[in-house]
Structure 1
Amino acid sequence: MNKLIKRYQISAIIFSIVELLSIGVVVLCYFFLQEFKYYLWIGLGFALLMIIFQYIFYLFFSKKLSNLRRRTELKASDIIGNDVQEAYYFGQVGLMLTDDDDTILWANEFLVDRNIDFVDKKITDVFPSLRQFLLTQKDVDETTKVTFQNHIYEIKVIKETNLYMFKDVTEYETLFRYSSEQAPVIGYVMLDNYLDISSSVDEKKLGEMTMEIRKKITSYFADYQVMIRSVKEDTYMIVCTKKNFDELYADKFSIVDKVRAANPDGYTLSIGISYGFPDYSKLAELASNAIYVALSRGGDQVIVLPFSENMEFIGGKTEARATRNRVKIRSICQSLLTLINDHENVLIMGHTNADFDAIGACLGVQALCNHAGKESRIIFEDQFIENKVRRAVKSLFTSKEMSQMFVNFKGAHEFYNEKTLVVIVDCNNPDLYLYDKILDENSKITIIDHHRCSETLSNNVIFNFIDPAASSASELLAEFISYSHSKIELSEKYATMMLCGILLDTNYYRIKTSISTYDASSILKSYGADNEKADDFLKEDYEEYALKNKIMSNCITPYYGVLVCLSDDKDIVDPTMLALVAREAMMIRGVNACFVIGRVSETEVKISSRSDGTINCQFLLEKRKGGGHFTAAAALFNDKTVDEVKDDLLYVLNEYLDQARTND
């Protein structure tokens, strides 16, 4: 057929050339033989002759083409037999053949009856989505779906024979979509600061405020056809379908913002929600875990936890509010001491590239262990401890004291047994533990941290206290020691290191500072913490000062109020230096957030970030498996260059910066 069409095209071209030459001859004769009087009649006759000839030419080739098509157009029954053809009709299966150029040669009656009869057209023009599928198909059993005239077809391609098999899955897809839309979704809605508001507001105002908020919550969920029931004075349970949830998700759970906006000093709302499993009790358990994570991250946000999938964080645009009080701290400290007493020994660690706060908090835990009479060791591997911290520890403690306080990685394995309690401070993300290789599925882990809870919290955590409102882990441990039922001894050296941790994380009380921070510092001073030594430990060397200025001079401002500083990829920079540069940059007027990128080892590049509270650093760096808290966060990258990490950061800023701004 294709050969015949080509012959027709060639013949048409030759005939057109002959026509043009003939017209040219007539025109030349007209100019050179003007005395001849019958040109008009000859021209008309010639034109009529050409029209008749063209018509005959068209009829001849059309008839020949039609005859050829009738001879080559086989029915499916001629190819595969009547019985198989009936089976294809019953199963709603279509067949289509193409040539090597993807031009359709034949389609069976099932497709023709469905008006999918596009012989001589490219199949990729008829179904554009097939083009990408054909380029990326790897497995012969791989299929794709296309929609045509309100029908959904699943297509399987056998490339060796250019055969396309169409299966009508419209009914199945409709049922699947309906089933998915009606799948159960369960969640919990909690006024996460209900007790604090109740104790600080007079009864009349509290009643009015609570009634207003409850009305907002119930009417909001009712608008989306969500069943909501009160299970406690500060907690609701919600049940809905996946379709209702998708509508809530599209709205980004705006009730959280509405509750916050109702009163700046009033309630905030947290929501934990789960779906993707038919067992209601399992979904309720997952939703309970999600609401716990939301509260651990400071509340005022939504945590979505689909079954067997990763958590998704929505909101969390405000700083966590302090919710600690002496009674709560005393209760938590007593629980921690009970756990310590129930174990043979205690192994303590911070995060990788441990700073003053991590080591200071470790020393605070060790003081609790000494009080309980339990042997304890802090994991201290020189190459994974910041330079300033190493110098400070070695200047404060003798070699003998250090041997009784610290162990390296090898010593940690010798110290650890099945009855060991592992306490991790200043970190809750397993990817950032100083030495995660010592942990196994039977490890008993306790976490004390001030960073927002990560979605990858270890499964075998038996106790944790995570308070994002605290300035530092050292602040939390200072409160534990002070408010314990019994007096706990804390040496001046331990207190000085813990004070260093507070000074570092608050940048000398400039950020993340609350009344509790000053109280914790006062507690440490009462134990003999040395301000001058702490300040001296945190001072920069001249080389560090020069390097800091060098990094700050190499910066870009990709967005208004956002500064990105870059270290030379050839320089290995202490992680503390990156944090110092970020803090210094925040002293510049007009800078809302700063991200500093530098190489911290031969294989690792780190981003350290700080903000003034108008941009959520943690939200941004969580997109790259980082963590931290609202105004200070970090992320670590393996086997990448500084420029590659910069490009990755710019992509994250482009995609998520607007969501991370709190003043939108």
Structure 2
Amino acid sequence: MNTLLHKQRIKSIILFIFEILIVSGLFVASALFELDYYFLIAIGLCLAIICFNTIFYWFSSRTIENLKLRTELKSADVIGTDIQEAYNFGKIGLAVTDGNKNVIWINEFLTDMDFDVVDCKIDEISPDLLKLSSSDYEEETVKIIYKKHNYEVKFIESANLYIFKDITDYESIFNYSKNQAPVVGYILFDNFQDVSSAKKETSFNDLTSASRKLVTEYLKKYKALTKRLRADMYMFICSMENYEEMQKDNFSIVDKVRDLEEDGFTLSVGIAYGFPDYTKLGELASNAIDVALSRGGDQSVIAPFSENMIFIGGKTESKASRNKVKIRTLSQSLITLMQHSSNVLVMGHIYADMDAIGAALGVKALADFAKVECKIIYDDQLVENKTRRALKTLYSTDEFKSMTIGFKAANEYINENTLVVAVDFNNPSQAMNKNIITEKTKLAVIDHHRRADNFFPSVLINGIDSSASSASELIAEYIAFNPSTIALNDKAATMMLAGILLDTNYYRNKTNIGTYEASTILKQHGANNEAADDFLKQDYEEYVLINRIMSNASTPFYGVLVCTADDEDIIDRTILAIAAREAVSIRGVNASFVIGRSSEKSIRISARSDGTVNCQFLMEKLNGGGHFNAAASEFQNETITSVYEKLIHILDEYLQDARKTTNSK
């Protein structure tokens, strides 16, 4: 406002001087020369204009002064003469701008807070203030920092008025509370018993001492209160501020302990925060440890209260650590639970494959041994084509109907004492019949995939083992290592063997001693190799389609092959998996990603690796999941092109993190 008055005065003075000079010149000219009557009239008009400008300048100045006075008195009219005291008590500042966002007035509170901004653009205080006048900005206020003070600002457009509220004290209290919020965590030596059995006592004690020293020094560095609960577990409590420092360090203690010695200890870390109750945080942290172990260990799992879990690490493939005692215990527990149930329902994942159906048949054999009625939930449209053909080849219509049950009948069949066994999946959203499982359902889970963040609410038996090649392998071990002799017919054994062949790509991927032992067990029960192999053979149409998909390939990154199908083609997810498997078998390809439309509204990415790239880590970034070297993700209402772009973005950002380092092999 002061600038506007100043500019107007300067312009008026210049114009006044210019006009005086013109009139003076005319008078001089009239004195030196004889001029006619009309020239004298012109001089008179000039004098009249000068008088008019003088009056106009006086009137305009008075108008602006009155406007300035009215602006300053707006708040006073509402609150009264003690407005400044009210402003200071409430820490409220006011700033008025003109149409060009120039500050033309501020109240005394802002002046006292060193807001030297009159005649400046409002965005010189903070660029974020312009958001308030933008139609795209949905919030009513914006928070800014100016000269080490925090302000919450609101804009009243009709008056061009910015209202500043000093919230420095509130922000300080909030930040202090946030920084001092409790964090509870557990650190577990997840292969303590295995290392103890494999090493001599002296070398084991030396390794244990060195590892414990690393853990305690690491926690001490971040000012955590630490207590060793048992030989292989520590509990710690720290503040949120210290936890954030650990997170910036990426929980390097996991790598430090792993790198101490080849075939030495690996750590799992479970942490919880976001709730004031230490007991609740302890439960969440304990659950996070369970998730880390079910995903293969050697990683950190963060469980913020009421938020999705965060996974850090887990770049190495799960090592086989199963022992016969544990398997025998799980098998016997499952049979005991069956015997205390009225009936059993077995269910695989949506679009069930050979492994899901094979594992379900194995569970039925366990239920038959327990002398409990058992049905396999089945929908012809939700089973992949080869599996459907294999079942029709192995079983007669009457046999098939006697062991399966549809969705509608299953809803009538189930009761409060029914045991539901989920095989080959651990994410509720992947269930063939989602309505069967509720919080009150008696549930057992047997799966070989790493545990997902979205897990079942309540599980009586958790048979997740991510080091296994397949769910059929796990069930074969349950049957073989149970103290009792459990019968398994040759048809079920053949289907289970086909499941193992499918998931290992004929023993090329994710195999261990247990895989071959399970195959031997199934052969002893009459599994037919030739039939299992025949079930997995490609049709001619499938062969042509796979080659067409692979012909449309690109290599956006070194060692990575991305293949895309035509957007118009609807392709079975099994075909996408086979294409990805074929692509990764090419020399020099470390990871392959095949994108195709699996239904009218769904597009799927099937990912495979040769063991040097963590496919699960990448697919989880796209809300998918799976194994270390075999994973997938699905999208709704997208195009092949848009999904391809999302994949490329994730690869660009996380591919290096997903590659196995030399130290982690």
In the superposition, relative to structure 1, how do residues 558 and 17 fare at CA in structure 2: closer, same or farther (>3 Å)?
farther
1:582 and 1:490 map into 2 onto residues whose CA distance is 33
Counterpart in the other structure of 2:308: 310
In the superposition, relative to structure 1, how do residues 14 and 500 fare at CA in structure 2: closer, same or farther (>3 Å)?
farther
Counterpart in the other structure of 2:364: 366
Tell me if structure 1 keeps the 8 A contact 2:328–2:482.
yes
1:152 and 1:623 map into 2 onto residues whose CA distance is 35
1:126-525 aligned at under 5 Å gives the runs 126-135=125-134, 142-525=140-523
Match for 1:72: what amino acid? K
Tell me if structure 2 keeps the 8 A contact 1:351–1:426.
yes
Report Cα offsets for 1:520-570 as digits up to 9, x if no partner.
000000000000000000000111111111111111111111111111111
Over the matched positions of the two proteins, sequence identity in percent amounts to 53
Unmatched 5+ stretches in structure 2:
20-52
1:83-122 aligned at under 5 Å gives the runs 83-122=82-121
- Alignment counterpart, residue 654 of structure 1, candidates 646, 649, 652: 652
Match for 1:443: what amino acid? T
Match for 1:326: what amino acid? K
1:81 and 1:542 map into 2 onto residues whose CA distance is 89
1:246 and 1:138 map into 2 onto residues whose CA distance is 31
In the superposition, relative to structure 1, how do residues 66 and 504 fare at CA in structure 2: closer, same or farther (>3 Å)?
farther
Tell me if structure 1 keeps the 8 A contact 2:84–2:109.
no
Counterpart in the other structure of 2:42: none
Match for 2:167: what amino acid? V
SS at the partner of 1:637?
Answer: strand
TM-superposed CA distance for 1:106, in Å, is 2.0
1:15 and 1:449 map into 2 onto residues whose CA distance is 93
Counterpart in the other structure of 1:124: 123
1:66 and 1:114 map into 2 onto residues whose CA distance is 30
1:267 and 1:354 map into 2 onto residues whose CA distance is 37
TM-superposed CA distance for 1:460, in Å, is 2.2
1:353 and 1:12 map into 2 onto residues whose CA distance is 87
Counterpart in the other structure of 2:68: 72
TM-superposed CA distance for 1:512, in Å, is 0.2
Counterpart in the other structure of 1:51: none
TM-superposed CA distance for 1:6, in Å, is 7.8
Counterpart in the other structure of 1:576: 574
2:18 and 2:540 map into 1 onto residues whose CA distance is 88
2:18 and 2:300 map into 1 onto residues whose CA distance is 75
TM-superposed CA distance for 1:626, in Å, is 0.8
2:423 and 2:94 map into 1 onto residues whose CA distance is 64
TM-superposed CA distance for 1:346, in Å, is 1.0
TM-superposed CA distance for 1:77, in Å, is 4.2
Tell me if structure 2 keeps the 8 A contact 1:107–1:117.
no
2:17 and 2:259 map into 1 onto residues whose CA distance is 78
1:598 and 1:151 map into 2 onto residues whose CA distance is 53
SS at the partner of 2:621?
Answer: helix
Tell me if structure 2 keeps the 8 A contact 1:607–1:635.
yes
SS at the partner of 1:271?
Answer: strand
Using the TM superposition, name which of 479-488 and 219-228 deviates more.
219-228
Counterpart in the other structure of 2:528: 530
Counterpart in the other structure of 1:82: 81
In the superposition, relative to structure 1, how do residues 225 and 390 fare at CA in structure 2: closer, same or farther (>3 Å)?
same
1:71 and 1:438 map into 2 onto residues whose CA distance is 73
Counterpart in the other structure of 2:37: none
TM-superposed CA distance for 1:118, in Å, is 2.2
TM-superposed CA distance for 1:163, in Å, is 2.4
Counterpart in the other structure of 1:29: none
Counterpart in the other structure of 1:606: 604
Counterpart in the other structure of 1:53: none
1:639 and 1:378 map into 2 onto residues whose CA distance is 32
Report Cα offsets for 1:262-311 as digits up to 9, x if no partner.
12211100000011111111111111111111011110000010111110
Using the TM superposition, name which of 72-81 and 335-344 deviates more.
72-81
Counterpart in the other structure of 1:31: none
Using the TM superposition, name which of 438-447 and 76-85 deviates more.
76-85
Match for 2:68: what amino acid? T
Match for 1:287: what amino acid? A
2:67 and 2:572 map into 1 onto residues whose CA distance is 80
1:539-558 aligned at under 5 Å gives the runs 539-558=537-556
In the superposition, relative to structure 1, how do residues 14 and 84 fare at CA in structure 2: closer, same or farther (>3 Å)?
closer
TM-superposed CA distance for 1:172, in Å, is 1.3
SS at the partner of 1:650?
Answer: helix
In the superposition, relative to structure 1, how do residues 65 and 126 fare at CA in structure 2: closer, same or farther (>3 Å)?
farther
SS at the partner of 2:304?
Answer: coil
Match for 1:213: what amino acid? S
Using the TM superposition, name which of 412-421 and 519-528 deviates more.
412-421
1:388 and 1:16 map into 2 onto residues whose CA distance is 100
In the superposition, relative to structure 1, how do residues 14 and 562 fare at CA in structure 2: closer, same or farther (>3 Å)?
farther
1:360 and 1:494 map into 2 onto residues whose CA distance is 6
TM-superposed CA distance for 1:71, in Å, is 7.0
Tell me if structure 1 keeps the 8 A contact 2:132–2:154.
no
2:604 and 2:151 map into 1 onto residues whose CA distance is 48
Match for 1:560: what amino acid? Y
1:134 and 1:250 map into 2 onto residues whose CA distance is 37
1:11 and 1:660 map into 2 onto residues whose CA distance is 72
Using the TM superposition, name which of 275-284 and 529-538 deviates more.
275-284
1:460 and 1:238 map into 2 onto residues whose CA distance is 27
SS at the partner of 2:466?
Answer: coil
1:136 and 1:464 map into 2 onto residues whose CA distance is 52
Unmatched 5+ stretches in structure 1:
19-56
In the superposition, relative to structure 1, how do residues 61 and 610 fare at CA in structure 2: closer, same or farther (>3 Å)?
farther
In the superposition, relative to structure 1, how do residues 86 and 394 fare at CA in structure 2: closer, same or farther (>3 Å)?
same
In the superposition, relative to structure 1, how do residues 152 and 296 fare at CA in structure 2: closer, same or farther (>3 Å)?
same
Tell me if structure 1 keeps the 8 A contact 2:133–2:157.
no
TM-superposed CA distance for 1:376, in Å, is 1.2
Using the TM superposition, name which of 409-418 and 570-579 deviates more.
409-418
Counterpart in the other structure of 2:50: none
Tell me if structure 1 keeps the 8 A contact 2:141–2:154.
yes
1:229 and 1:112 map into 2 onto residues whose CA distance is 54
Match for 2:310: what amino acid? E
TM-superposed CA distance for 1:410, in Å, is 2.1
2:133 and 2:255 map into 1 onto residues whose CA distance is 46
1:253 and 1:501 map into 2 onto residues whose CA distance is 37
Report Cα offsets for 1:220-247 as digits up to 9, x if no partner.
1111212221101000001111111010
Match for 2:123: what amino acid? T
- Alignment counterpart, residue 641 of structure 1, candidates 639, 642, 651: 639
2:414 and 2:184 map into 1 onto residues whose CA distance is 41
SS at the partner of 1:262?
Answer: coil
SS at the partner of 1:283?
Answer: helix
1:399 and 1:279 map into 2 onto residues whose CA distance is 57
Report Cα offsets for 1:186-211 as digits up to 9, x if no partner.
10000000011111111111111111
The reply on whether 1:631 has 2:629 as its aligned counterpart is: yes
TM-score by length of 2: 0.89
TM-superposed CA distance for 1:99, in Å, is 3.4
1:10 and 1:501 map into 2 onto residues whose CA distance is 91
1:66 and 1:191 map into 2 onto residues whose CA distance is 83
SS at the partner of 2:519?
Answer: helix
SS at the partner of 1:304?
Answer: strand
